[in-house]
Amino acid sequence: MRDVAVIGVGMQKWGELWERSTRDIFVESALLAMDDAGVNSLGAMYIGSMTPGLFTSQEHLGSVMADYLGQKNIPSARVESACASGGLAFRMAFMDVASGMHDVVLAGGIEKMTDIGGGDATHALATAADMQWEGVQGVTFPGLYAMMAVAHMNKYGTTREQLAAVAVKNHHNGTMNPRAQFRMEVTVEGVINSTKVADPLNILDCSPITDGAAAVILVPADMVKKFKKPGVKVIGSGHATDTIALHDREDLTTLSAVTEAAEQAYKMSEKDAKDIDLAEVHDCFTIAEIIVSESLGLFERGKGGPAVEAGETSLGGRIPINASGGLKSKGHPVGATGVAQIVELTEQLRGEAGDRQVSGARVGLAQNMGGSGGSSLVHILEVM
């Protein structure tokens, strides 16, 4: 396999993009990435999108996006792994370049979620759960993650305040991210007193519905000097799945797909958790960030909540998590989230993250997750 590097990133401001179509949003981010890299043609393209047919009645994104990007005739495909679709698109692009198949490959993600009503959006997202045993019984993702939160609180003593601290931290980071959907501070008291969704989770524990896209350009590492920006090397990639229904899992307080994907990425990179300088993880709900941080080995089981409360995951802490604002503040257009995590890591490792820059960052980890942990991708990037 060839070594692979990211040499261009692109992402617009996320939010409710009412006046713009799915293809417009994607093409803007893709052109930003191509301009950042200094390329005008691609060898191939992979597009992460969870369910564009339900959100915007448009499938066949590989053809649509290549056409509107002016890259007609290249191999272009949409890939799907629920909310981990973006992470999977990045892995497929990485494998394409590493194999020697193509030299310049775009990994992108897109979801336009606000063109349908709340009930239809809830249904679209619920298709990432086990529809037979969860979805048709009326269980939504807030309910599934609430069960995980209750189990974690009962087993480890995780507190309501520790859950709220995740939202407080990520919203603070998001105020420094000009592309974040919700650039506002919140307080522990505000999170705890916000509207109840599924006990113990409130509205400010939940990631929002978002329109947005993100894109990155990958090339062989030995070609980096031909491009505009310094490369960031992809040194680890992991992908794993788990039982999709919660009732089939041995332990609701951990995520085995995250652990397995992380072990693959650590082995490939010849790194381990102690070598990670910052991480972008899938905080679709506040409890998710806590469980993921433990499943990645960044903290011992049961210590993720106290670590957030103590400031260990804040900017300037021992291991900053979600410097971008995470899904909670930056937003969560489900197919784009995994690629946006790579955008953030690349900018951090290039020293381009502005006020939220993690000092001395050289190794970053991105963890993207589908559903309630039915799938997960982990990637590790390093300064070249």
Which DSSP symbol is given to 226?
G
Residue 9: its H or E element: strand 4-11
Task: Say whether 172 sits in a helix, a strand or coil.
Answer: helix
The per-residue pLDDT string of the chain (384 residues; one tens digit each, 9 = 90 and over) reads 999 999 999 999 999 999 999 999 999 999 999 999 999 999 999 999 999 999 999 999 999 999 999 999 999 999 999 999 999 999 999 999 999 999 999 999 999 999 999 889 989 999 999 999 998 899 999 999 999 999 999 999 999 999 999 999 999 999 999 999 999 999 999 999 999 999 999 999 999 999 999 999 999 999 999 987 889 999 999 999 999 999 999 999 999 999 999 999 999 999 999 999 999 999 999 999 999 999 999 999 999 999 999 999 999 999 999 999 999 999 999 999 999 999 999 999 999 999 999 999 999 999 999 999 999 999 999 999
Maximal CA-CA distance, the chain: 56
Q: Tell me if 213 sits within 8 A of 15, measured CB to CB.
A: no
Task: Say whether 280 sits in a helix, a strand or coil.
Answer: strand
Residues with catalytic function: 83, 332
Residue-wise burial string across 175-196, b where 16 or more C-beta atoms lie within 10 A, e elsewhere: bbbebbbbbeebebeebbebee
- Domains of the chain, first to last: 4-117+210-232 (3.40.47.10), 137-205+235-383 (3.40.47.10)
pTM: 0.98
Neighbours of 19 (CB within 10 A): 6
How would you classify the pairing of strands 76-79 and 44-48? parallel
